[in-house]
A and B are shown apart, each in its own frame.
Chain A
């Protein structure tokens, strides 16, 4: 960590001149990045050994640099071994990002430890200083910073080409969505969380995903600040079932917690049986046309929720997106960037369900 006046002024010039550019400078061999704490960190060479906290960070590092530089991860990653087949013994460096095991970290001999900004980085910076291990704070789960995060990871690990490729996929599809949805009146969407009659509000990344997909969240008019706390947070808000009937959404999307392995088909059958049995639901447009989608969180959140948005857009406007296959994008994300095989479709539609006996 060497802070020189020249670097600061150069950065200032770049930032002033090109506000949309990321905060990364490659000067000769030296790598300089600015992390989420505002510190400017310099590295002589690309990082070869890193301990990465938080699954989203790990995903993006793997996407950009592969598993090779990842020497340590947290429990969120280790408990998902099918998604992380390259895991070896001894890579566990802490339970979650708030209780790192410093001895385990030191034993892995990393050059850097990467934390998201809600991790215990303050403590880590001080504790790891005597060991010469740098702490970099990058927040992979922050979708608003997707592009700059990917660029930072790319620079850090010396994989700027792959980073650019990933950003290209991301930006291309985001631009495509914006382009094809220009001027289109958004169709109403009811997004349900894991618990029945709980939805998302503005402030939640899932709400933003609906908007990007050209949908109108039927609860998007609710301001969390005016609601009693007991009804929940923006990610998990208790809604009135009658409001769903009144809004008559074009599609219903049910988010199902899950990860890399697919859910068995019976799982969706149970859900479809339950939702069609709800009072009044069988008359909803979406139910009558079979436009109820049981969607794995995993797909929805893929690549900073870009793939989820793409999928919802296709459901909403099949004609406008006839040539787009979100499944193929997910395959690319998993196989090209994550290095794991694409297991199949991560969603089921009501219309595909065989009729009940």
Chain B
């Protein structure tokens, strides 16, 4: 230690510990980003006609490099990448990131690590909206039908969120009331969806059940654009609220003492989270697990400081969904297993591994 910067022993140790952890977090974030980019490349290369990574690079950078720079590609291969693979890869990345980050924010404002879009009823509500649309003829409505289903899911999801916040707002917009209202509405919407399934025709039932699997098979660039737009709007706001989320973790009284308006923060966060989640699952169908577990996995690796947790959870969520989708369409090719099913198979072992690696925490 240089004499010019002489510190007393403890401060130096703290400084070293602090710097070490900051460097570790940076490293994880960088590694995660690189891994994500790499996985995107591999995902794009996978398919009925596998492509080499050089070809993938050539196609992705086609506007920036001359032809044949990395490898030779045919027009059909380009089309397959840009029209079939990239949209679903992009949807998996955007969807995974969006579901993970809203999971983080919802868990932070409710100070409850068990919260996810499922617990506050958004997913069952979206399923209900889509089922209702299908019941009332979305299947027969030809081309408009798709928009009916998406619209139904989205609106129903927003309705559920509005109800949760209304009920919560009648008391205090506190952590507990949000959770309780959400649980109640989860059961309500699940029952409503089950009722619809009961009266639906076989075709409609098949479509409804299929919607609940969660899939990026239908992703086109339109859907990706809308979902990305929601994320682009919400994420900067979330990042700005990173310190607040840290503060809420320390208790409402502490957070208020630091000068935060918790009611307004909770409302803003809840509204934005709902918009992002609804926007994603309206297109993809119900994809559970990511919103609950990706935040946990990220937290186990990078800690609870939301300045790091928010971006890292997006990376974890994107990776989870992307790997799940890629496996789902490769392992049993040409059968495409919906990503909503595969993501749990992929994520649970990983999650259990991370849990077991933690030291035992002493009781309260």
Direct A–B touching in the complex (beta carbon < 8 Å)? yes
**B232 shortest CB reach to chain A, Å:** 24
Is B80 an interface residue, CB under 8 A from the partner?
yes
- From 104 to 127 in chain B, residues with beta carbon under 8 angstroms from any chain A beta carbon are none
Is B361 an interface residue, CB under 8 A from the partner?
no
Is A259 an interface residue, CB under 8 A from the partner?
no
**A102–B84 contact, CB under 8 A?**
yes
**A118–B146 contact, CB under 8 A?**
no
Contacts of B140 in A (CB 8 A): 117
Contacts of A123 in B (CB 8 A): 146, 217-218
**B82 shortest CB reach to chain A, Å:** 8
**B203–A103 contact, CB under 8 A?**
no
Is B273 an interface residue, CB under 8 A from the partner?
no
Contacts of B198 in A (CB 8 A): 229
**B48–A101 contact, CB under 8 A?**
yes
Q: Give the complex CA separation of A199 and B215 in angstroms.
A: 36
Contacts of A38 in B (CB 8 A): 142
- From 25 to 60 in chain A, residues with beta carbon under 8 angstroms from any chain B beta carbon are 37-38
- Closest B residue to A104 by CB, please name it: B334
Interface centre among B79, B84, B210, B338 (most CB of A within 10 A): B84
Q: Fill in one digit per residue for B226-249: 1 if any A CB lies within 8 Å of its CB, else 0.
A: 000000000000000000000000
A107 touching B48 in the complex, CB below 8 Å, given contacts A99-B217, A123-B218, A229-B198: yes
Q: Fill in one digit per residue for A206-247: 1 if any B CB lies within 8 Å of its CB, else 0.
A: 000000000000000000000001000101000000000000
Is A288 an interface residue, CB under 8 A from the partner?
no
Q: Give the complex CA separation of A329 and B356 in angstroms.
A: 67
Count chain A residues whose beta carbon lies closer than 8 angstroms to a beta carbon of B.
Answer: 28
Contacts of B203 in A (CB 8 A): 118
Is B220 an interface residue, CB under 8 A from the partner?
yes
Q: Give the complex CA separation of A122 and B147 in angstroms.
A: 11
Q: Give the complex CA separation of A101 and B325 in angstroms.
A: 13
- From 191 to 216 in chain B, residues with beta carbon under 8 angstroms from any chain A beta carbon are 198-199, 201-203, 206-207, 210, 215
Is A336 an interface residue, CB under 8 A from the partner?
no
**A122–B83 contact, CB under 8 A?**
no
A103 touching B84 in the complex, CB below 8 Å, given contacts A95-B335, A131-B79: yes
Is B76 an interface residue, CB under 8 A from the partner?
yes
Q: Give the complex CA separation of A107 and B50 in angstroms.
A: 11
Q: Which of A92, A101, A122, A130 interacts with B142 by CB under 8 Å? A: A122
Is B49 an interface residue, CB under 8 A from the partner?
yes
**A96 shortest CB reach to chain B, Å:** 8
A75 touching B49 in the complex, CB below 8 Å, given contacts A106-B76, A127-B220: no
- Closest B residue to A97 by CB, please name it: B206
Q: Which of B48, B145, B146 interacts with A104 by CB under 8 Å? A: B48
**A132 shortest CB reach to chain B, Å:** 9
Q: Give the complex CA separation of A37 and B203 in angstroms.
A: 17
**B220–A94 contact, CB under 8 A?**
no
**A229–B84 contact, CB under 8 A?**
no
Is B306 an interface residue, CB under 8 A from the partner?
no
Q: Give the complex CA separation of A302 and B131 in angstroms.
A: 34
Q: Give the complex CA separation of A126 and B215 in angstroms.
A: 17
Is B183 an interface residue, CB under 8 A from the partner?
no
Contacts of A130 in B (CB 8 A): 79, 83
**A42 shortest CB reach to chain B, Å:** 19
- Closest B residue to A109 by CB, please name it: B76
Q: Give the complex CA separation of A103 and B47 in angstroms.
A: 7
**B215–A99 contact, CB under 8 A?**
yes
- From 67 to 125 in chain B, residues with beta carbon under 8 angstroms from any chain A beta carbon are 76, 79-80, 83-85
Is A98 an interface residue, CB under 8 A from the partner?
yes
Q: Give the complex CA separation of A323 and B201 in angstroms.
A: 41
A99 touching B338 in the complex, CB below 8 Å, given contacts A118-B203, A229-B199: yes
**B47–A131 contact, CB under 8 A?**
no
Q: Give the complex CA separation of A92 and B195 in angstroms.
A: 35
- Closest A residue to B143 by CB, please name it: A122
Q: Which of B49, B83, B139 interacts with A131 by CB under 8 Å? A: B83
A127 touching B334 in the complex, CB below 8 Å, given contacts A103-B48, A122-B143, A229-B198: no
Is A286 an interface residue, CB under 8 A from the partner?
no
**A99–B83 contact, CB under 8 A?**
no
Q: Which of A37, A101, A107, A126 interacts with B336 by CB under 8 Å? A: A101
Is B329 an interface residue, CB under 8 A from the partner?
yes
Interface centre among A92, A94, A102 (most CB of B within 10 A): A102
Contacts of B217 in A (CB 8 A): 99, 102, 123
**A98–B206 contact, CB under 8 A?**
yes
A-B residue pairs, 5 tightest by C-beta: A103-B48, A104-B334, A101-B334, A118-B203, A107-B48
Interface, chain B (partner A; CB < 8 A): 47-49, 76, 79-80, 83-85, 139-140, 142-143, 145-146, 198-199, 201-203, 206-207, 210, 215, 217-218, 220, 329, 333-336, 338
Interface, chain A (partner B; CB < 8 A): 37-38, 75, 92-95, 98-99, 101-104, 106-107, 117-118, 120, 122-123, 125-127, 130-131, 229, 233, 235
Would you mind naming 28 contact pairs between A and B with Cβ atoms under 8 Å apart? A75-B335, A92-B334, A92-B335, A94-B334, A98-B210, A99-B215, A99-B217, A99-B338, A102-B84, A103-B80, A103-B85, A104-B333, A106-B80, A107-B49, A117-B140, A118-B139, A120-B218, A122-B142, A122-B146, A123-B217, A123-B218, A125-B143, A127-B83, A127-B218, A127-B220, A131-B76, A131-B79, A229-B198
